[in-house]
Amino acid sequence: MSEEMRRDARIYLLGEEVAQYNGAYKVSRGMLDEFGPRRVIDMPISESGFAGMAIGSAMMGLRPIVEFMSWSFSLVAADPILNNAPKMLYMSGGQFGCPIVFRGNDGAGGQLGSTHSWCVEGLYSNVPGLKIAIPSNPYDAKGLMKTAIRDDDPVFFLESERLLSIKGEVPEEEYTIPFGKAAIRREGTDCTIVSWGRPVHFAMEAAETLAKEGISCEVIDGRTIRPMDWTTIFASVRKTNACVVVDQSWSFASPGSEVAAQVSEHCFDDLDHPVLRVHSDDVPAPYAQNLEQEMLPNPRKIIAAVKKVTYRA
Amino acid sequence: MPNATLASNLASHLVKSASVTRTEIPGTTLLKWFYDMALIREFEVRCMQAYQDKKIGGFCHVYIGQEAVAVGCVAALEHRDPIVTAYRDHGHALARGMHPKHCMAEMFGRIGGCAKGKGGSMHMFDKANNLYGGHGIVGAQCPLGAGLAFATKYEDEVIKGGKSDRVTMCFLGDGALNQGALHEAKNLAGLLDLPVIFVVENNGYSMGTAIERGTTMAHKIITKAMGYGMEGIEVDGMDVLNVYASMKDLCDRVRATSRPAFVDMRTYRYKGHSMSDPRKYRGREEEEQYEAEDPIGKLQKFIKDRKVATAAEIETIVDRVKVDVRDAVAWADASPAPGLEELYHDVYVEKWGPYTGTSLPEMLRESGVRSQE
Amino acid sequence: MPISLTMPRLSDTMEAGTVIKWNVKEGDKVRSGDIVADIETDKATMEMQCFDDGTIAKLLVEPGKQVKVGTPIAVIAAKGEDPASVGAPSGSAPAPAAAPAPKAAAPAATSSVPVTPVTPIAPATPSAPATPRAPESNADADGPRMRVSPVARRMAEGEGIDLSSVRGSGPNGRIIKRDILAASANKSAAGASIDTGTKLALRQPTVVAGAPSLFGNGPGERIVALSGMRQTIARRLVESKTSIPHYQVTMRFAMDALMAKRAEMNDAIAALAPDAGVKLSVNDFIVRACAIAMAKHPYINASFGGDHINVHGDVNVGIAISLPEERGGGLVVGVIRNADRKSLRQLSQESKFLAEKARTKGLSMDEMSGSTFTISNLGMFGVEHFTAIINPPNSAILACGAAVEQPVVRNHQLAVGWEMQATLSLDHRVIDGAMAADYLKTLKSLIETPASLTV
């Protein structure tokens, strides 16, 4: 973010506790000192107001980055972020775009209870006009964030609190990762596992275990949900003839369901078994640690699904 | 029940005098206002007709009775000042200078519309005239209005290093007084010193609910500005001269101080909330009382009394309005429906998947506005 | 050129409308903005505005007749035209909206349907002409459907493997990828014959003949079109009576004290404020009693919500109001909000206002919606007992009869007293019999001790 703000004065950051507090999760550490309070702006707890305000400024050509401390709090800003940002270009017949990035923590796993554990990709991926990026590691986070900031369309950038502590190689130099380009995290021949965001790590863990049992999995990290890299996914399924989707949102009408439907439609003659999905259980996120872990997608559930689609159960 | 509160309040307590006096306004300006207000009225009448003829679909909210507000407020602004409004937006678009043919074509859902027929009655946008939209969700335009003011100030001060020099006008109906979005927007505007004026077009009804049944302190809604540390004034919105004079002063102050302001603009809509509203919640006497206060009639009388124009000259303007609107209807009717390729156009700026990127509408191509920077 | 006035679309869902009343007659001058007619839409009665100046040359539609939106209903002669010579626009006679399209009862051509010779549905696959694809759609006629995963089917085709010779190892014998790989490796694929015979089950088309009317039409019989309101009443009450498990509980009330109290209060009001025009009715007392009794019986003031019961916070009492014939008849329910917090006098004024407005100008949506309990009173007609249909989403409705002077037993003595019967209809999903009886008991004690209603 800092690199981009040095490049373009139209970019500014606003959100709760982003400035003086250095970010609720310390994501914006040091940015106030560098850019000053006119470009790194603390907001009151007023998501609907500041999200709408940032959208208004983006209509005029500024390029705001809006931090939601948690994507769970974006629900109170649903009208501006879903009714204004993604529809402005269309409703104005191409006159006013909305180059804006909304970012924040998404997903459960920290015993925060149900209201603070939303996986909003399940809700928001339904809406045309916006893009959704969901990095699974620090390297991707930087490259995707740069693309998001430079994108002329509204981007929802879904980070995971659980992944913020992951250390990874992040080169100092300039690079971007295009949207709609998946990464193959592991090559394999027996089953394709499609995932994005935090569950990519569970998929990798599962693939590791399955490899010991002689089942070779190909793990695809989608990186962005809108656009989704169908080319890479379809090519992999045509090779392995089996597909499991791992998605931390609820299953009903989710991005995971969309992948299952698209694969079934486009790779029907290549499938040896119907596509299976591993999601969070269809219940509100519980507080108790054991229940919460059981609810989320985990390696055990992924392994069971892969065995089923490869007829090894 | 009759809306007694509003009627009795209209008489007194409103800003009646301002530094601009009635005599200072040049005759040509008065005639332009007269044309604009008559244009809006005739445009809306023909919209009602076209709606009943099924040329216009969906919802249709007409501005009849409130013409003095849009015309007077727009006159008090500079052209570079952005405005944003709610769904009763045809009047603002025309007052701002949108050609009635593009406005009518948008109503008809045709490619020649300001938004290529994709926005409709409630969503009028005009980049060339700094109109940032009519917005369909009650109150949603308020944070956007704060954002426009944020952007002008940011551009003027942070990017250009100068002084904030633009005023944003954000119109809303009295129904929006009770939406959280307005209150969050007012709080942020007060907090960040944003040069935005929230103009409540207080016509006394949110749909069919009289104002005092929906909001607290209905007799004194500027109290809702005080809590956010902003100036609030009450203006008789049925008199364009008064609207202009009061708003001109206020715009000057907001431009100079970069502080937000709030206006209780007392007005009245003669017609229903939308085309399907039979207005059973108020008496015909009440409507007649306001019709006697008709802002167009009032301006016409002023023009005659000041001998700016003769009755015959006024008649000529009225005839021109009729012709202009008739031409707009004919033009809109002749404009084709958007092609099916428009379905996947203007969803994203970037081309990807089924989406074919974006381009400006014919209206802006005519006026030479550049595409997305 | 004469201007044609067409049936306007006055709501987003309106398809047809009825001219209730013409406000103009032929020969009248009209100006843009004049209200020329009252139109009944599917939602309300609305005013129809005219957009041009001129003279009404012809009215094409009788009041009461429903026509489709867009149908010409009147012709206006523009300035300078002779109204007399301007007739109906040619070839556009008003089309009745609900004209029953004569359904040509297609003669049954049952047995004469030519049956085309059956051809195999599955085309031969060009890449493997020797192994016709296994029939899919008709296989169940000959035995269990063969289960093959899509990729296995495709591989078998490519390799020229006969699927019927392959044993499936997947669930329910599904032939899967590894079965084909194994078969291919063994080179054991031998083309067994596949039954290509295809049968087409033919069904006799069912013929429904139009049933002729068995009953003659008596003299004076007439068909009356349903007004919008009548349609609504028909739909809602059928819905209520057929979907809600109704039952009724009746109780008698001694009305002597209440009648005396009412006379006493009306005298006092007449003396104190003769011009106020307030006269308390028996019904006003009943409304108040019903409303304040809710405090002890919240479930009477509730709605059934499928998987929950919504116990309402406010007590909004609906009053059934019948409409006069000249307004098309029918009935509406006017709603007194927060009736439990209003005095008898307020209740009286409000019900009077609602009834008058309903019968003259019509009630707004707001004045008709939001009831949590309804009272229907036919006492003024002398009716002693009746039952009412619940007004959804309410769970109860009280049907009140007249207070009648009659022989009664009071204190073990035969006497003459005022009595009234009232019958509650209830939704058994929300309210059980004992609960209803308990509510009536509270109601009885309030009504029989009317002083409790005046505080």
Contacts of A63 in chain B (CB under 8 A): none
Do A12 and A158 belong together in one domain?
A: yes
- Is A206 among the domain residues? yes
If you measure CA to CA, which chain A residue comes closest to B170? A56
Helix, strand, coil shares of chain C as percentages rounded to 5?
Answer: 30, 20, 50
CA distance C377 to chain B (A): 25
Residues B26, B159, single domain; the answer is: yes
3-state SS class at C135? coil
User: Of the candidates C8, C46, C366, which has its C-beta nearest B278's C-beta?
Assistant: C46
Question: Is residue B365 domain-shared with residue B323, that is, in the same domain?
Answer: no
Residue C124: the pLDDT is 39
- Kindly indicate the confidence band of residue C13, based on its pLDDT and cuts at 50, 70 and 90: low
Number of structural domains (chain A) is: 2
pLDDT tens for residues B41-96? 999 999 999 998 889 988 888 899 999 999 999 999 999 999 999 999 999 999 99
Mutant choice from A90, A92, A149 vs B, greatest count of B C-beta within 10 A = A92
Same domain, residue pair B14 and B84:
yes
Residues B25 and B38 in one domain: yes
Contact across the interface for B146 and A52, Cβ inside 8 Å: yes
CATH 3.90.650.10 fits domain C240-454: no
Residue in A39, A56, A152 closest to B143 by CB = A56
Q: Are C334 and B249 in contact (CB under 8 A)?
A: no
Question: What residues does CATH 3.30.559.10 cover in chain C?
Answer: 240-454
Where among A133, A163, A193 does a domain terminate? A163
Provide the residue range defining the domain that includes A14. Answer: 2-163
* CB contact A270 to C (< 8 Å): yes
Give partners of C (≥3 CB pairs < 8 A).
A, B
What residues make up the domain containing B373? 343-373
Distance from CA of B138 to the nearest CA of C (A): 20
What tokens appear for A84 in the block? 């204004």
Answer yes or no: do B154 and A53 touch at CB < 8 A.
Answer: no
Chain-chain contact of C14 with B54 (C-beta, under 8 angstroms):
no
Give me the number of domains chain B comprises: 2
Contact C73, C60 (CB under 8 A): yes
Contacts of B208 in chain C (CB under 8 A): 364-366
- Judge if A110 and A207 occupy the same domain: no
Instruction: Give contacts of B123 with chain A, Cβ < 8 Å.
Output: 91-92
Tell whether A114 is covered by a domain.
yes
Residue A182 corresponds to which amino acid?
Answer: A
Give phi and psi for A220, each to the nearest 5: -110, 125
Asked if the structure places residue A178 within a domain, the reply is no
**Closest by Cβ to B276, choosing from C6, C12, C363:** C12
* Residues of chain A found within 8 Å of residue C179, distances taken between Cβ atoms: none
A15 plus A150 within the same structural domain: yes
- When pLDDT is cut at 50, 70 and 90, the band that residue C198 belongs to is very low
Tell me the two tokens of residue B227: 């809590």
In this complex, is the C-beta atom of A108 within 8 Å of any C-beta atom belonging to chain B?
no
Q: Which residues of A form the catalytic set?
A: 47, 116
> C231: pLDDT confidence band, cut at 50, 70 and 90?
confident
Distance in Å, alpha carbon of B110 to nearest chain C alpha carbon: 19
- The rounded distance, in Å, linking the Cα atoms of C45 and C258 is 40
Closest alpha carbon to B89 in B106, B109, B111 = B106
For A295-304, what is each residue's pLDDT tens digit?
A: 999 999 999 9
Neighbours of chain A (3+ CB pairs under 8 A): B, C
- Whether residue A188 is found in the same domain as residue A102: no
Range list for CATH 2.40.50.100 in chain C: 3-85
B310 with B169, same domain: the answer is: yes
Compute the nearest-CA separation of C358 from chain B (Å).
Answer: 11
Interface check C47 vs B, CB under 8 A: yes
Please report residues of B whose CB lies closer than 8 A to that of A90: 118, 346-347
Q: Is residue A175 part of a domain?
A: no
Amino acid letter for position C166: V
Asked if the model's pLDDT at residue C206 lies above 50, the reply is no
Which helix (H) or strand (E) segment is C242 a member of? helix C228-243
State yes or no: pLDDT of C167 exceeds 90: no
Instruction: Please report, in angstroms and rounded to a whole number, the separation of the first and last CA atoms in chain B.
Output: 53
User: How many Å lie between the alpha carbon of A276 and the closest alpha carbon of chain C?
Assistant: 15
The answer on pLDDT for C107 being more than 60 is no
Note the pLDDT of residue C220.
67
Tokens linked to A238: 């045509």
**Mean per-residue pLDDT for A105-119?**
86
Report yes or no: A171 at the B interface, CB cutoff 8 Å.
Answer: no
Q: Is A222 part of any domain?
A: yes
Interface test with A, best of C125, C136, C149 (most A CBs within 10 A): C149
- Distance between CA atoms of C186 and C20, rounded to whole angstroms? 86
CATH 1.10.287.110 fits C146-186, yes or no: no
pLDDT at B269: 83
Residues B198 and B148 in one domain: yes
> Within this chain, do residues B126 and B82 fall inside the same structural domain, yes or no?
yes
pTM of the predicted model as reported, rounded to 2 decimal places = 0.66
| Residues of C assigned a catalytic role | 428
Residue C11 with chain B: CB contacts under 8 Å: 275-276
pLDDT band at B111 (very low <50, low <70, confident <90, very high): very high
Q: How many CA atoms lie within 13 A of C158 on its CB side?
A: 12
Here the CATH number for the domain that contains residue B90 is: 3.40.50.970
Residues A132 and A15 reside in one and the same domain: yes
The mean predicted confidence, pLDDT, of chain A is 94
Tell me whether residue A187 is in a domain: yes
Amino acid at C288: R
Q: Report yes or no on A174 lying in a domain.
A: no
| A133 and A194 belong to one structural domain | no
The CATH class of the C3-85 domain is: mainly beta
| Structure confidence at residue C32 (pLDDT) | 84
Q: How close, in Å, is residue A270 to chain C by CA atoms?
A: 4
B54 vs C32, C49, C70: nearest CB? C70
Residues of chain C with CATH 4.10.320.10: 146-186
Nearest to residue C406, comparing CAs of C249, C250, C251, C254? C254
Instruction: Decide if pLDDT at B144 tops 50.
Output: yes
A152 and A265 within one domain: no
- Tell me, yes or no, whether A120 and A57 share the same domain: yes
Residues A188 and A129 in one domain: no
**Chain B positions in Cβ-Cβ contact with residue A49 (cut-off 8 Å):** 143, 146, 181, 183-185, 187-188
Domain contains A301: yes
- Please indicate whether residue C88 or residue B26 has the higher confidence score (pLDDT): B26
Same domain flag for A73 and A140: yes
Claim to verify: residue B44 and residue B74 sit in the same structural domain: yes
Please check whether residues A58 and A206 belong to one and the same domain.
no
Q: What is the pLDDT of residues A166-225, one digit of tens each?
A: 777 788 888 999 999 999 999 999 999 999 999 999 999 999 999 999 999 999 999 999
Q: What is the pLDDT of residue C138?
A: 35
